[in-house]
A = this chain, B = another copy of it.
Amino acid sequence: MHNLEEIPEIRGLDSRSGLIRIPHEMDVPITPRVRQLIDTAEFHRLTRVSQLGLVSLVYPAAHHTRFEHSLGVYRNALLYLRQLSADERFRAAIKTEDGELLIVAALLHDLGHWPFCHPIEDMKLPSVPSHEMFANSFLLEGEVADCLRDDWGIQPRDVTTILSEKPRDTRQRILKSLMSGPIDIDKMDYLPRDSLHAGVPYGRNFDAQRLIGSLCLNQAGDGLALTDKGRTAAEMMVFARYVMFSEVYWHHTVRSATAMLQRGFYLLHGELDLDALFRMAEPAFIQHVLTASERHPAADLFGGLFGPTRRLYKRIAEFSFFQKRPYYEQFARRPYTWLAVCSDHLAEILSQQIARRVAPHEILFDAPPVKREVEFNVEIHFAKENTYRTLGEVSPVVKTLAQSQFDDYVKRVRIFVHPRLQEDLRQQDSLDTALDETLRRMA
């Protein structure tokens, strides 16, 4: 095998047999060695882990799985490699074995994902591993590791390096930039896929064809870039991501459910065997936390999410750059534990105000996390002048999206309360008073 295009999976893009079909009318080539990987128990588990978790409480069709998504990302790896194999510098840096490494990394990139992984990670609790680290336990030993060694001639450690370590050389930096960055193979799959299954048009319109067709290397030769033919397509993808955040991922009801899950997990996590829990598929995970939280305040939260009927907390306040900005600035980008203490104080203050007991877990603060969304820095190669400029430099709109729209406008501070309290807490003035008092106590 002398070049990237000869990799069996890449050839499979045209071969039309041994295919799995996923939306939207996408054929994924399945070679025998890919079949081996996806038929392991570890990978098969992903058929029972949903991609969007709590989003289906708002968009009831969004039940697609990490399995489906992983196939999509794997296919994108093939498309990116085929395209980049036409780039001389890429061919010089990335050999066939590197291409195959990328392919398995793409396929396996979510292997460590446990149910509701992102909101749990966002809380930064010390006892919770990162899902990348957690994945190592699936990758370094067992059936997947055997398959990598025997069928692919790949050392499992090389896969975990690409997936979870800082790149140390040009080759690793290139591979990493395909896996993770503003135009990576992951976003290229999940934006349109989440959009399709949710039933919304928001994440689909970015001309993937044009974008892939303009892939090249950056000036330094160590990362993904685009020719200027792909500039608009890249802007479209950044914009599509913004809209998906605004309308789906950070939809206020989704955030209510997320805040409930986070608080429930926060309250209960000391009593859970996290290692066992994180190896479960979603139905077992849900059953487990429901059982574990019996006779525990968390029961109220998990029951509302996963019980026989849906009972979500209600929004009583919302703050952003243009809505009561001073409050927004007080609560945004605070550690989860700080917000949890705020809840305690506010519950106590409100108990007095409305003269009935408000339990701490009946008040939830949801706020933009400490870490801002990454910048959208990808280089654009202007072929005629042979110069490279960053996308932000040639696109004010991308610069704006990166610098303010996402974190300051989409992600808002919200206060959610148990539905039985909603009526009592309607009055905005007294809420402000209570918030002021809460902040005084936190000072």
Contacts and interface: CB of A to CB of B under 8 A. Distances in A.
Contacts of A25: 199-201, 207, 209
Interface in A388-429: 389, 393-397, 399-401, 404-405, 409
Interface in A28-70: 39-41, 44-45, 47, 56, 59-61, 63-65, 67-68
Given A60-B71, A199-B25, A405 B409 contact: no
A77 to B, nearest CB: 16
B86 A41 contact: no
B213 A16 contact: yes
Contacts of A96: none
Contacts of A41: 308-309
Contacts of A202: 205, 207, 232, 236
A201 B196 contact: no
Contact of A396 (B21, B287, B308, B405): B405
Given A41-B308, A61-B23, A243 B236 contact: yes
Contacts of A47: 56, 60
Interface residues of A, number: 81
Contact of A16 (B16, B201, B214): B214
Contact of A21 (B26, B44, B59): B59
A326 interface: no
A15 interface: yes
A138 to B, nearest CB: 13
Interface of A: 14-17, 20-27, 39-41, 44-45, 47, 56, 59-61, 63-65, 67-68, 71, 82-83, 86, 196-202, 204-207, 209-210, 212-214, 229, 232, 235-236, 239-240, 242-243, 246-247, 283, 286-287, 308-310, 318, 322-323, 382, 384-385, 389, 393-397, 399-401, 404-405, 409
